[in-house]
């Protein structure tokens, strides 16, 4: 929920894919460019081409994603909310197919279609049996190149968007993290995932001009998992050849501001976000922060246990219902690191103070065993984050868009190489920066930022 507004269900990973994973440790990634200048990425493709001749039953489930740099961070104040509209225009009427036809045909193939919006990317995604790749490649490409953007669909979508915004507002976790990003980054990464009531997106032309700007060859990457690379490339050549070669949308460089927001609400629980500037995904600082995150870690990992970290022990004394989870969100050029706490106002205050205390301790002394434990958890987290097909699409698609290429193995290697000094340095840097504090709930009882003794 931290970075994405997802409303779609996904298939669970198939057992067959696990067999494949024993053949090689990490699925090798192949990247190439089409004539139109479009990146095509395939994950595990070479294995498919080798094995398929021997045994057609290996990993028959595949996925295809078109990852577009079209998240809310590319919005301006004139078209705030337009990314949310563009997401909802996915799989609407195209020049070739009606909405109904797209969905019914995908269903007949047993495929699943979804459109996901993150702060940076719009991801058009399909999962299907490998033999249906040509159909889904055509379908997803048509969404990018041939969507009609009719005015009457716009009014239908506006109603749907108002509903989605209402649903999001009723989830305090989403509200708190949305305002944390807004306070921390103001614009760009601080833009909301959801179009709000004062959005200036008043007609379909605004959406269409945004689509024309973001659907360009430099801005789009095609990612396939479990499909042959050559086949994927030739399909991308065929269906996306007329994608305009306009320049990539330059994102405004992210600046961290920090600050405080207090949202009064009659909810029984209080929600509290304490965040600091993080680091961009894949950087060495990001890996250090990831270790710091699991070093402080307030989560209990056994059901009736007390938890191993001092923070978890503090919380278990505060009684039931208090929960703290450390987060470390990495974006292309910035990040947000911090703690999300909820529970009764009093216990939330105590937990916030305890979390700050743990962060201070980390600036001075870090036990060797504690570091090992944290690094192991961080490495597991890194490995697990590559686990699903949809996560692979997002990770490798975004890497290709920014010209990076790092595998699971290198991500884990990076974490294993982290030393006590790295974590201590990053903790010192973190605590010196201006915090972002969001208090949601009974604001009369919740602590102010300056009372956190940072």
User: Tokens 């700007």 map to which residue?
Assistant: 213
Residue 96 touching other proteins (CB under 8 A): no
Question: Smallest gap, in angstroms, from Cβ of residue 81 to other proteins?
Answer: 20
Per CB under 8 A, which region of 94-102, 158-166, 192-200, 280-288 contacts other proteins?
Answer: 94-102
Q: Which is nearer to other proteins, 127 or 153 (CB)?
A: 153
Interactions with other proteins, residue window 267-326 (CB under 8 A): none
Percent helix, strand and coil across the chain, each to the nearest 5: 45, 20, 35
Per CB under 8 A, which region of 40-48, 119-127, 148-156, 352-360 contacts other proteins?
Answer: 148-156
Query: Per-residue x/- marks for other proteins, 39-78, CB under 8 A?
Result: ----------------------------------------
Question: Smallest gap, in angstroms, from Cβ of residue 160 to other proteins?
Answer: 15
Q: Which is nearer to other proteins, 101 or 419 (CB)?
A: 101
Q: How far is CA 171 from CA 2, 260, 271, in A?
A: 12, 20, 11
Size of the site for other proteins (CB under 8 A): 8
Q: How far is CA 19 from CA 13, 58, 236, 249, 389, in A?
A: 12, 8, 29, 40, 15
Q: Which residues pair with 323 in a beta bridge?
A: 342
Q: For residue 330, what are its two tokens?
A: 């990495």
Q: Which is nearer to other proteins, 154 or 276 (CB)?
A: 154
Q: Which is nearer to other proteins, 159 or 364 (CB)?
A: 159
Residue 148 touching other proteins (CB under 8 A): no
Q: Which of 98, 167, 209, 410 binds other proteins (CB under 8 A)?
A: 98
Residue 101 touching other proteins (CB under 8 A): yes
Q: Are 307 and 301 in contact, with CB atoms under 8 Å apart?
A: yes
Q: Which of 33, 56, 96, 104 binds other proteins (CB under 8 A)?
A: 104
Cα 339 off chain centre by: 17
Residue 171 touching other proteins (CB under 8 A): no
Strand ranges (E), 352-401: none
Q: Compute the distance between CA of residue 312 and CA of residue 341 in angstroms, rounded to an integer.
A: 12
User: Tokens 């029984």 map to which residue?
Assistant: 268
Residue 253 touching other proteins (CB under 8 A): no
Per CB under 8 A, which region of 99-107, 165-173, 234-242, 410-418 contacts other proteins?
Answer: 99-107
Q: Which sign does the torsion angle of CA 391, 392, 395, 397 carry?
A: negative
Residue 108 touching other proteins (CB under 8 A): yes
Q: Which is nearer to other proteins, 152 or 304 (CB)?
A: 152
Question: Smallest gap, in angstroms, from Cβ of residue 152 to other proteins?
Answer: 4
Residue 403 touching other proteins (CB under 8 A): no
User: Tokens 């021997």 map to which residue?
Assistant: 54
Q: Which is nearer to other proteins, 99 or 421 (CB)?
A: 99
Q: Which is nearer to other proteins, 19 or 203 (CB)?
A: 203
Q: Are 246 and 63 in contact, with CB atoms under 8 Å apart?
A: no
Question: Smallest gap, in angstroms, from Cβ of residue 104 to other proteins?
Answer: 5
| Sequence-separated (6 or more) residues with CB below 8 Å from residue 260 | 183, 436, 437, 438, 439, 448, 449
Q: Which is nearer to other proteins, 147 or 175 (CB)?
A: 147
Nearest to 87 by CA among 248, 239, 214: 214
Per CB under 8 A, which region of 46-54, 60-68, 101-109, 123-131 contacts other proteins?
Answer: 101-109
Q: Which is nearer to other proteins, 100 or 253 (CB)?
A: 100
- How many beta carbons lie within 10 A of that of residue 263, not counting itself? 16
Q: For residue 80, what are its two tokens?
A: 């705030």
Question: Smallest gap, in angstroms, from Cβ of residue 109 to other proteins?
Answer: 11
Per CB under 8 A, which region of 95-103, 113-121, 133-141, 295-303 contacts other proteins?
Answer: 95-103
Per CB under 8 A, which region of 93-101, 206-214, 272-280, 349-357 contacts other proteins?
Answer: 93-101
Return the ∠ at Cα 42 (arms to 40 and 46), rounded to 5°: 130
Residue 150 touching other proteins (CB under 8 A): yes
Q: 188: left (phi > 0), else alpha (psi -120 to 50), else beta?
A: left
- How many beta carbons lie within 10 A of that of residue 305, not counting itself? 10
Question: Smallest gap, in angstroms, from Cβ of residue 411 to other proteins?
Answer: 44
Residue 100 touching other proteins (CB under 8 A): yes
Per CB under 8 A, which region of 96-104, 213-221, 235-243, 371-379 contacts other proteins?
Answer: 96-104
Nearest to 397 by CA among 206, 140, 24, 95: 140
Question: Smallest gap, in angstroms, from Cβ of residue 99 to other proteins?
Answer: 9
Which strands, in side-by-side order, build the sheet including 61-68? Answer: 4-5, 112-118, 122-129, 61-68, 220-225, 39-43, 29-33
Q: Compute the distance between CA of residue 319 and CA of residue 198 in angstroms, rounded to an integer.
A: 41
Q: Roughly how many angstroms between the first and final C-alpha of the chain, as a whole number? A: 27
Interface with other proteins by CB under 8 A: which residues? Answer: 98, 100-101, 104, 108, 150-152
């Amino acid at each position: 929920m931290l970075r994405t507004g997802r409303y779609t269900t996904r298939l669970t990973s198939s057992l067959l894919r696990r067999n494949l994973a024993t053949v090689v440790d990490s699925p090798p990634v192949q990247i190439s460019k089409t004539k139109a200048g479009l990146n095509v990425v395939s994950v595990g493709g070479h294995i498919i081409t080798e094995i398929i001749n021997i045994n057609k039953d290996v990993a028959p489930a595949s996925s295809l994603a078109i990852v577009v740099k079209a998240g809310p961070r590319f919005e301006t104040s004139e078209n705030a909310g337009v990314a949310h509209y563009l997401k909802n225009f996915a799989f609407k009427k195209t020049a070739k197919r009606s909405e109904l036809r797209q969905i019914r045909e995908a269903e007949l193939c047993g495929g699943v279609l979804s459109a996901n919006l993150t702060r940076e990317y719009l991801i058009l995604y399909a999962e299907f049996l490998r033999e249906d790749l040509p159909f889904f490649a055509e379908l997803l490409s048509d969404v990018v190149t041939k969507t009609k953007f009719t005015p009457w669909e716009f009014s239908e979508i506006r109603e749907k968007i108002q509903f989605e915004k209402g649903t999001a507002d009723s989830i305090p976790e989403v509200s708190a993290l949305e305002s944390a990003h807004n306070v921390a980054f103001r614009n760009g990464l601080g833009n909301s995932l959801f179009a709000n009531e004062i959005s200036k997106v008043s007609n379909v032309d605004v959406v269409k001009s945004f689509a024309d700007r973001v659907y360009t060859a430099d801005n789009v990457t095609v990612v396939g998992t479990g499909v042959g690379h050559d086949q994927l490339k030739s399909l991308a050549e065929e269906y996306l050849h007329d994608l305009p070669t306009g320049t990539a949308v330059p994102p405004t460089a992210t600046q961290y501001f920090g600050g405080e927001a207090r949202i009064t609400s009659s909810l029984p629980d209080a929600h509290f976000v304490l965040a600091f500037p993080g680091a961009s995904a894949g950087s060495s600082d990001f890996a250090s922060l990831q270790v710091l995150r699991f070093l402080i870690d307030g989560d209990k990992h056994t059901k009736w246990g007390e938890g191993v970290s001092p923070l978890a022990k503090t919380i278990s004394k505060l009684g039931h219902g208090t929960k703290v989870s450390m987060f470390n969100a990495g974006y292309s050029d910035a990040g947000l690191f911090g703690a999300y706490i909820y529970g009764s106002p009093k216990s939330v205050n105590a937990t916030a103070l305890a979390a700050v205390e743990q962060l201070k301790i980390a600036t001075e002394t870090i036990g060797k065993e504690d570091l090992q434990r944290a690094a192991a958890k961080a490495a597991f987290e890194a490995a697990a984050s590559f686990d699903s097909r949809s996560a692979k699409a997002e990770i490798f698609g975004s890497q290709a868009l920014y010209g990076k290429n790092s595998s699971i193995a290198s991500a884990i290697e990076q974490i294993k190489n982290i030393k006590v000094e790295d974590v201590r340095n990053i903790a010192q840097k973190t605590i010196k920066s201006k915090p972002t504090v969001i208090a949601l709930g009974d604001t009369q009882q919740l602590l102010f930022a300056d009372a956190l003794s940072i």
